[in-house]
Amino acid sequence: MIDAVRCADLSYRFGAHTAVDRVNLSIEPGEMFGLLGPNGAGKTTTIRMLTTLLKPATGSVAVFGIDATEQPMRVRRVIGYVPQMLSADANLTGVENVELFARLFDVPRKVRKERVTEALDAMGLSEAATRAAGTYSGGMIRRLELAQALINAPRLLVLDEPTVGLDPIARGNVWEYIRRLRDEHAMTVLMTTHYMDEADAYCDRVSLMHRGAIRTTGRPADLRAELGDGVTLDDVFRHYTGDTLSDKPEEGGIRDVRRARRTARRLG
């Protein structure tokens, strides 16, 4: 069986900083897979190479056997992508936001309206569909983005920190929608998160990422069991990295590097 995602010795550098360091990863079709780590661990950079936005420095990444560097357009047709930021167009209605992506994915005109309605219904947004997205709550925008990503019936759904910035109720709600999608459409889901409790509850398997490298991979329950009773995924992370997973950005992470660069440029 072809892996849904396969990274082989995947690396990326920002100048002298190695953001992603020889990552090897195999995700099976139908899996709900979590890439875990603090801010700056290299999760988003890995996702960016997978979604064809960045070209790997070395190594390769393939989605359902299609190489992201060699055939980026084909890769884009099999993935649905929801970035970290809540990013619907506030000036367009829910319907228009989804129709935009239906057009960009060449959904035939005959079935376009029908598919847009279905996607919005599936995300529980039928009542708000004709309202401007600017009036939506955070959780509604995230569901709207899921509807946008689903319009193409993707085989792989890529979610970058899907619940960041949402209140606890909206978070649980978004996870339920994601899980049902996976169950009903045999979709493969790859997500990044730094919320260990959520990863524990919803992911089939997780990889712990730290300073650009993957430290360990496995089922959350197995990873916990290896270290004994009453252990949380947070403890597992500390065990493998010697670091805590607090919300504060890790020192020397790429985000800090970028921010420092930006500040430097502004000053100079």
Q: Is 93 in contact with 126 (CB distance < 8 Å)? A: no
Q: Which is nearer to another protein, 82 or 190 (CB)?
A: 82
Burial of 85 (0-12, 13-18, 19+ CB in 10 A): exposed
How many angstroms separate the CA atoms of 6 and 62, rounded? 5
Is residue 76 close enough to count as binding another protein by CB under 8 A?
yes
Q: What count of other Cβ atoms lies within 10 Å of the Cβ of residue 108? A: 8
Residue 216 and residue 187: Cα distance in Å, rounded?
24
Determine the interface stretch with another protein among 97-105, 165-173, 222-230, 245-253 (rule: CB under 8 A): 97-105
The reply to whether 202 sits near another protein by the rule CB under 8 A is: no
Site string for another protein, 153-172 (x = CB under 8 A): xxx-----------------
State the Cα–Cα distance between residues 100 and 98, nearest whole angstrom.
Answer: 5
d(CA 79, CA 67): 13
Choose, by CB under 8 A, the member of 26, 60, 87, 232 that binds another protein. Answer: 87
Smallest distance, another protein to C-beta of residue 23, A:
18
Binding of another protein by 105 (CB under 8 A): yes
Using CB under 8 A, list all residues that contact another protein.
Answer: 29-30, 48, 51-54, 73-74, 76-79, 81-87, 89, 91-93, 96, 100-101, 103-107, 111, 114-115, 118-119, 121-124, 132, 145, 147-148, 150-155, 180-181, 184-187, 258, 262, 266
